[in-house]
Amino acid sequence: MTAASFDAPDVFNLSEHLLGQRLIEGLGDRRALLLDDRTLTYAEVDQLANRFGSLLADRGVRPEERVILALPDGDAFVGALFGTLRIGAVVVMVNPHLPDEQIRAFLEYTRAAAVLADGEVAGAFAQVAEAMRRPPKVLAVGSAELTRGLGDAETVLEPFPSHPDDPAIWLFSGGTTGRPKAVVQTHRSFANTTDLYGKRFLGMNADDVTLSVPKLYFGYATGSNLFFPFSVGAAAALFAERCTADALFERIARHRPTILVNVPTMIRHMVSHPRAAEQDLSCLRLATSAGEALPVDLHRQWDETFGVELLDGLGTAEMWHVFLSNRPGEVRAGTLGRAVPGFEVVVRDDDGVPLPPGEVGSLWVRGDSRAIGYWQERGKDRETFRGEWVALQDMVSMDADGWVTYHGRADDMLKVGGRWLAPKQLEDCLREHPAVDEVAVVGAADADGLVKPHAFVVLRGDAGVDADRAALAGELQAWAKKRLEPYKYPREVTFLSGLPRTHLGKVDRGRLSRGEV
């Protein structure tokens, strides 16, 4: 680790560090949130946070109890998050569009004391909560009752004297093949990565304006589109509607952001947009990509279309945010870059032995953003958290200079005919075919019970209209055979209108492998 980690005092509340401190610095009148219909200053966000904190405390929420936020991006989400932290309670961020069966699972798993939810989902939470032995208080944001309550709540609130290692926010692992696991993260972790990656590595400053594709409940966006800009008095642009290329281009034209927080799926939608060449992205000094692997060809298309430096990187809930990234001014397409200063990464084999440069193995990382652990997952906890180190399921290789290349998830790797296959390699190959828009490869048992690669393909708009699917499947198989070792071609090709996604927007490989499409 070549940079000092964040040095937190014994009493440290993240809400005060990221929000209250801006008022102490005299930045209360600076723009904090850029919404579609209005702008909020730091002083206004601080008052809103105090109102939410006071309201929750008045409803009986105590320090260290959990509060679920099921809210769209906007001032209410931000006020509720900082208000919850301010009273020493713990934030649990979830997708505001959860189906009923997931609502029950989250309520039972988190044992939340309260839920702040929006619109129809508040009614769904309340209905599920009624049947629980210890039902949480469900507060409908936007309702007349809650609006009155917020209006009557105190605008000045003494922050709870949290310890830097107290739980602050629960994040959820990607859950691409199983039930999402809650990762318990601390006040210190969020401050540490904000300092190391947001401020030092990305060079976030007070003149920046951030805009994000993923929504705030996703930890990648919580950092890049809220905590990082708030740490330096910058502004974050938020919008509640589902992100599309059109919605994104509209907000770029309106807010003129300097940093775009992106993911590969949206990058593909942006570069393939029929009016992509007409878009003015000159306001951007950089864009980031994380959450999924970024194919080299897609990175190239981005560069050719928009000419904005794109930094691919990797972060995990276990370390909260990005700790491995390409650096501004130093980008190698097809790699995850190198360790962010302040973090250390190594590649190890199944026995935990470090591997030589170029060998594929599991990624291990250490640094002061390490989570406390998983909630109610003791076995997985022991497997992942190894003293200072976090042993991840990400399969990578690292060259002698520290540049890391991603090869897929360990639980996604397939053994075909006694040899390993990284689904990402086959996906990258098939994605180069002009008819393919998206693709996911999973293992499926054949008639003899042997695991073989099965490709699920989404075709580009025009390609799928009159396509002979059987002929195209054969063409894709031949395409892979010609470019990869013969055993790596997909034994089956299934065409879908869209790939299933998890609650965090990642491809749901579990559903694909179970045939639930």
How high is the pLDDT of residue 176?
45
pLDDT band at residue 466 using 50, 70 and 90 as cut-offs: low
127-165: pLDDT as tens digits: 999 989 889 999 999 899 999 999 999 999 999 999 999
Percentage of the residues of the chain whose pLDDT score is greater than 70: 96
Question: Binning pLDDT at 50, 70 and 90, where does residue 463 land?
Answer: low
**How far is residue 332's CA from residue 441's CA, in Å, rounded to a whole number?**
25
Q: How confident is the model at residue 316 (pLDDT cuts 50, 70, 90)?
A: very high
The two structure tokens encoding residue 483:
């470019």
Q: State residue 504's pLDDT score.
A: 67
The mean per-residue pLDDT over the stretch 326-338 comes to 96
Most confident of 29-33, 180-184, 423-427: 29-33
pLDDT at 317 over 70: yes
- pLDDT surpassing 50 at residue 411: yes
Res. 452 pLDDT band, cuts 50 70 90: confident
Q: Give the CATH superfamily of 11-162.
A: ANL, N-terminal domain (3.40.50.12780)
pLDDT tens profile 342-370: 999 999 998 999 999 999 899 999 999 99
Cite the DSSP H helix spans in 6-99.
14-15, 21-24, 42-58, 75-86
In the block, residue with structure tokens 């250390």: 344
Rounded to an integer, the average pLDDT of 16-27 is 98
Arithmetic mean of pLDDT, 69-93:
98
Q: How confident is the model at residue 177 (pLDDT cuts 50, 70, 90)?
A: very low
* pLDDT bracket for residue 465 (50, 70, 90): low
For residue 93, name the pLDDT band (cuts at 50, 70, 90). very high
Give me the pLDDT at residue 158, please.
Answer: 95
The amino acid at residue 107 is: L
503: pLDDT strictly greater than 90: no
Average pLDDT over residues 410-425: 78
Q: Residue 324 contacts by C-beta under 8 Å, 6 or more apart in sequence?
A: 313, 314, 315, 336, 337, 338, 339, 340, 343, 345, 363, 365, 404
Give the span between the Cα atoms of 344 and 351, in whole angstroms: 19
Kindly report the average pLDDT of the chain as a whole number: 93
User: Residues 229-248: what's their mean pLDDT?
Assistant: 97
Tell me the domain boundaries of the chain.
11-162, 413-513
The DSSP secondary-structure symbol of 290 reads: -
Highest mean pLDDT out of 180-184, 373-377, 415-419: 373-377
Torsion sign across C-alpha atoms 68, 72, 78, 80: negative
**Rounded (10°) angle between helices 144-152 and 42-58:** 110
For strand 389-398 and strand 492-495, is the pairing parallel, antiparallel, or unpaired? unpaired
β-sheet bridge partners, residue 363: 347
CATH (residue range 413-513) = 3.30.300.30
